[in-house]
Amino acid sequence: MPDFLLDLPSIGSQVLRKAPASYTKIVVKGMTRAEMILKVVMAPHEPPVVFVDNYIKLLADGNPETFQKILDMKGLKRSEQSSMLELFRQRLPTPPSGADGGPSLFSTTPEQESSRIRKLEKLIKKRL
């Protein structure tokens, strides 16, 4: 799939050329995130501590809403999800005290990521 997306800008062109660096960067970043999400969704959720730590390590996303979406994808019951969410909140690394409000580890929001993915999907549909 990533190879197809990377070759997309030159499909139908007489001249073979490499995709622009900015396009390649967006595709690689989006596909990497998608692969990490799949790894987390496919991982067993027992024991819960290992699952939560794996999520934090692979996705580096401190947003409880995103974690909730992952739990929905796994098909967990709401009762299981609530205990996992509580564990997730407890296991999140705390920011250092006296932080100056500079850029955080979680600088890109899921909305920004999904917007980029939607743009790529539209580009694919236009080309096909």
Of 18 and 35, the structure prediction assigns the larger pLDDT to 35
Q: What is the pTM of this model?
A: 0.59
**pLDDT tens-digit profile of 32-75?**
888 999 999 999 999 999 999 999 999 888 889 999 999 999 99
How many C-alpha atoms does 125 have within 13 Å on its Cβ side?
6
3-state DSSP call for residue 15?
A: coil
Question: What band does 1 get if pLDDT is binned at 50, 70 and 90?
Answer: low
Q: Are residues 45 and 83 in contact, defined by beta-carbon separation less than 8 angstroms?
A: no
Establish how many alpha carbons lie within 13 A of residue 61's alpha carbon, considering only the half-sphere containing its beta carbon: 20
What confidence tens digit (pLDDT) does each residue in 90-106 have?
988 766 554 444 445 55
CA distances for 60 relative to 54, 64, 93, 119, 123, angstroms: 10, 12, 10, 23, 28
pLDDT band of residue 117 (cuts 50, 70, 90) is: confident
